[in-house]
Copies of this chain bind each other. A is one copy, B any other.
């Protein structure tokens, strides 16, 4: 299937690009999008780059009723010498297929998926902003489109990629955030869909998020759905703690998303010979470490924020202030290194970036 060539239909008009210094997250989209259809019996077909446009769907389309969908999120960065590069995009395509497996969606050809993203970014490369900390956010997603009201896997899907120039995800930037440990709601549970990047997990998270925001916290820290003791992740980030010089992060247990930033952090720490372990981490352990003065740093990791230091954890009525509410040294080093690699300011020792070749296409 990878030899299916991508049809390109250029947009007749170009939209005005937003000011690079005033970007908001996820509200402006580029001139083109990628679309590919799946039809039972035919498979994935007609990969195309077309002008960014609305979707016209039957109201009975399964996506509106039974939530069968998956998505991904990655970024393209503009380097100092004007090139555009992607960060570990093949990992996103692999994870998309892992999510597909859980959601009973037919897998896409990974080479074709990667090429679709590469070509789309190339065509809209003028949309990759160049101000500090900005990037082009890329959103591949698959939705079930069969017009049928019955609970069963759809026979039709659309794989779509849209792109949005973005500033920093968190208004606070690299400044530490306050996080509340959630004790009532759960995001997902082992045996559920937590490992997959599917809409329902995010829909399930809105209620708790709404409540803690009103209380002045920026995100929720989720505990496991069974014992309500073990730390899972934070909002749309995986989470790391530095305790007595060792970095710990919850192991991938089936209900946590296997973050690509998480993997990058672990690989970097190993590269630096910083002790790091993936294991069960209870909230009690974090509390105890804090009481004993051993909780040195805490941060979330994710594509949107890269690294988001945690300045305070709120748990069972107790406010745990971490590193005096300031960004920790290691957190900062990880952030600087990953963003440095992403923007081509630092060497790329682990071969994480993929250049989007300068195109000869008449843009």
Contacts and interface: CB of A to CB of B under 8 A. Distances in A.
A218 B124 CA distance: 48
A199 interface: yes
Given A152-B209, A189-B225, A191-B184, A59 B162 contact: yes
A64 B186 CA distance: 22
Nearest to A154: B206
Nearest to A146: B27
A298 interface: no
Contact of A164 (B149, B201, B226): B149
A351 to B, nearest CB: 29
A203 B200 contact: yes
A169 to B, nearest CB: 8
Contact of A141 (B26, B64, B151, B235): B64
A184 B102 CA distance: 12
A173 interface: no
B58 A69 contact: no
A193 to B, nearest CB: 5
B202 A65 contact: yes
Contacts of A137: 149
- Identify the interface centre among A53, A202, A206: most chain B CB within 10 Å of its CB: A206
Task: Please give the count of copies of this chain that the complex contains.
Answer: 2
A352 interface: no
Contacts of A55: 56-59, 64
Contacts of A57: 54-55, 57
Nearest to A185: B191
Contact of A204 (B59, B162, B200, B236): B200
B54 A65 contact: no
Interface in A91-131: 102-104
A350 to B, nearest CB: 28
A148 interface: yes
Contacts of A44: none
A238 to B, nearest CB: 15
B67 A59 contact: no
A146 to B, nearest CB: 10
A199 B66 contact: yes
B199 A204 contact: no
12 contacts: A29-B59, A29-B60, A53-B59, A65-B69, A66-B202, A68-B206, A151-B235, A188-B192, A193-B203, A193-B204, A198-B200, A225-B226
Interface of A: 25-27, 29, 33, 52-60, 63-69, 71, 102-104, 137, 139, 141, 143, 147-153, 160, 162, 164, 184-193, 198-207, 209-210, 225-226, 228, 235-236
